[in-house]
Every structure is written in C-alpha cells, then in structure tokens.
Homo-oligomer: A and B are copies of this chain.
Amino acid sequence: MRQAGRSLPEYRAARAGVPMLESCLRPELASEITLQPVRRHRVDAGIFFSDIVIPLRLAGVGVDIVAGRGPVLDAPVRSATDVARLRELSLAPDALQPIRDAVAITVAELGSTPLIGFAGAPFTLAAYLVEGGPSKDHIQARTLMHADPDAWHDLLEWAADVSGAFLRAQLLAGASAGQLFDSWAGSLSRTDYVDSVAWASARVFDDVRDLGAPLVHFGVGTGEILPDLLAAGADVVGVDWRIPLDEAARRVGRVPLQGNIDPALLGAPWPVLEAHVLDVVRRGRAAPAHVLNLGHGVPADTDPEVLTRLVELVHSLPRP
C-alpha cells in the first residue's frame, strides 16, 4: 500500500523536522520509512519510499514539496526554449547513489519479503514540470502537447530517460518489481494518450526490461486506457477504485491486475470495509492474478489499526 507510512505515528516521529524530499535522500531514513508499514501491517511486499519528483531533483531541477500544495517548481517548463534548457540537465550516475543505498539497506532488512520499486511515468513528470504547481486538469501540459509537438516529444523523452534511470537503479540495487505511476494520465483522451504519451512510458519499460523484474503500470482515472497501459509494456496493470476488477479484466484481457480497494472506505465502519474488500477480491478472480492493494495512496488520517486488520482479513482468505 503506497504511502501506508504516512498514517503511522512512527513515520511522523521519523520525519520530524526533515523536509519531504530530504527524507527520500537520506538512505537510512528512506529505508526505515519503507520498512515501517511492512513491520506493522505484515504486508507481503514493501514499496520503496520516495517522491515522484525525486529523479527531477536529482537531475538538477529546482523543485520542492510545499506543505498542503505538493510539488512546486522554481521555473515551470512552458516553451521549446524551456525544454531545451531542461535537456541540458541529466542524472549523473552518482546522483542516484542515495537511492541505491536506501534500496540495498531495505532489501537486506526485508529478507524474503520483496521490495517494489517506484517511478513516476514521463507524462506525470512532464505535467509537474509544465504546470509548476498543483493542477486539476493539467491543461498547460496538455496545451504544450498540441501547441508544440516537437518540444513535447523532447520533454517526454528527457522525462522517460530520467524515470528509466531512477527505476533501473532501484532494480539493480535489489528491488524485485517495478511500478510506473502515471498519476495524471487520466486527464488525457485515449487518442492523446496513444498518440503522444504511451511511447514514452514504453521507453521507460524498455530501459529496465532486461532486468527481468515484473513491471506494473498504474494511473488514476484510467479506465478508458487500461489496454494502452498494458500495451506500453507492463506485465501487471494497476486499477484505481473507479471500475471494478471484473470490468477491468474484460477490458485488458488475461493479465494480472493490481489495486482497486477504495481508500475512501478505510474510514467506514469495519463491516462496510470488509464487504468492500471481499467484493474486490471476488471480482479480482476474473483476472489470472490479483495483487491486492489500494486503488490509490493511503490517506494520512487513516487509523493504522484498520490497515493491519485489513491485511489480516486478506491473509485469512483461502487462496484461489
């Protein structure tokens, strides 16, 4: 469960006084935060603690997380000139050392429990770069896509290479699987996704395919483009809470699915959450495999005991 840490008191204690991006770049701390929810909830895998803009920061982009707003850029990328300037930045091999170290420490601690690596997809990275701050519909990014297709191509190519290097570093350091998060792909029409975005996600998958790790592709509100997330080169397709897994399976074919528990249900009375989880599990049997997970991140105000109980419930179910 991504962001499962942030509802934990031990997470808030570990993070006290440490800015978000810095906490991702201190290997011991990033590892500790990755391990906390595994220890507490006894989930079957850890997910590497990082932030989607970390590879941008490591490449030299001026970006920070502003509390209550999210990632904010010093200078948004709005033109071909801005894109050309961005492309002078790159991820030096040394820059990724804190990531490699954090993964290596974590994998050693986890023992037989696998670690899932994490990277933002090129469109989502590009959306952050172009918008420069929070956005509901990513219209500045989508405008650049249509107004200057060459600059858009160069921007996505750069973002894909940064994302690929970030994910590859995690897999080489010991992560057992890789997850590509295209958080904002749901703001696109299917035509735009297929014509102007999918190739860049495919480029990330191509960067790491030789490592043989299972690759997950996930986005929020992506019911219309689930088959395209698969076609970009994923082995597993993540599904948010908007469509049920039997419908998702109908759309993507015989492919493992991940996710689908609605985070909004974590605040409901236990019998309501339990019925929802059992429904998700039942519908997930329409797929050849189902990596049970939330359909999006854990809300920060979630009662950690609910998450522990949810994991116990799932572990108590008969395997299909």
Neighbouring B residues of A266 by C-beta, 8 Å: 143
Task: With both chains docked as a complex, state the minimum distance between the C-beta of A300 and any C-beta of chain B, in angstroms.
Answer: 10
Neighbouring B residues of A224 by C-beta, 8 Å: 223, 242-243
- Interface residue A267 (Cβ < 8 Å from any Cβ of B): yes
Residues in A lying within 8 Å of B, measured CB to CB: 134, 136-137, 139, 142-147, 186, 188-191, 220-221, 223-224, 241-244, 262-269, 272, 296, 299
Neighbouring B residues of A299 by C-beta, 8 Å: 139, 143
Given A134-B134, A139-B299, A223-B224, A189:B243 Cβ within 8 A: yes
Are B267 and A146 interface neighbours, CB within 8 A? yes
Neighbouring B residues of A136 by C-beta, 8 Å: 134, 136
Are B220 and A137 interface neighbours, CB within 8 A? yes
Neighbouring B residues of A221 by C-beta, 8 Å: 186, 221
Complex CA distance for A136 and B70, rounded to whole angstroms: 11
Are B242 and A146 interface neighbours, CB within 8 A? no
3 nearest interchain CB pairs? A142-B264, A146-B268, A143-B267
Contact of A242 among B144, B188, B220, B262 (CB under 8 A): B188
Between-chain CB contacts (< 8 Å), 29 pairs:
A134-B136, A136-B136, A137-B296, A139-B263, A142-B262, A143-B264, A143-B267, A143-B268, A144-B267, A145-B264, A146-B262, A146-B264, A146-B267, A146-B268, A146-B272, A147-B267, A147-B268, A147-B269, A147-B272, A186-B221, A188-B242, A189-B241, A189-B244, A189-B262, A190-B243, A221-B221, A223-B224, A224-B242, A224-B243
Neighbouring B residues of A265 by C-beta, 8 Å: 143, 146
Task: With both chains docked as a complex, state the minimum distance between the C-beta of A137 and any C-beta of chain B, in angstroms.
Answer: 7
Q: Which residue of B lies closest to A299 (CB)?
A: B139
Complex CA distance for A139 and B242, rounded to whole angstroms: 13
Q: Which residue of B lies closest to A269 (CB)?
A: B147
Complex CA distance for A189 and B261, rounded to whole angstroms: 11
Neighbouring B residues of A263 by C-beta, 8 Å: 139
Task: With both chains docked as a complex, state the minimum distance between the C-beta of A269 and any C-beta of chain B, in angstroms.
Answer: 7
Task: With both chains docked as a complex, state the minimum distance between the C-beta of A28 and any C-beta of chain B, in angstroms.
Answer: 31
Q: Which residue of B lies closest to A144 (CB)?
A: B267
Neighbouring B residues of A190 by C-beta, 8 Å: 242-243
Complex CA distance for A145 and B265, rounded to whole angstroms: 9
Neighbouring B residues of A269 by C-beta, 8 Å: 147
Could you list 11 further interchain pairs (A-B, Cβ under 8 angstroms) beyond the known A139-B299, A146-B262?
A137-B220, A137-B296, A143-B265, A143-B266, A146-B264, A188-B242, A189-B241, A189-B243, A189-B244, A191-B244, A223-B223
Neighbouring B residues of A268 by C-beta, 8 Å: 143, 146-147
Neighbouring B residues of A272 by C-beta, 8 Å: 146-147
Complex CA distance for A137 and B263, rounded to whole angstroms: 10
Complex CA distance for A267 and B144, rounded to whole angstroms: 8
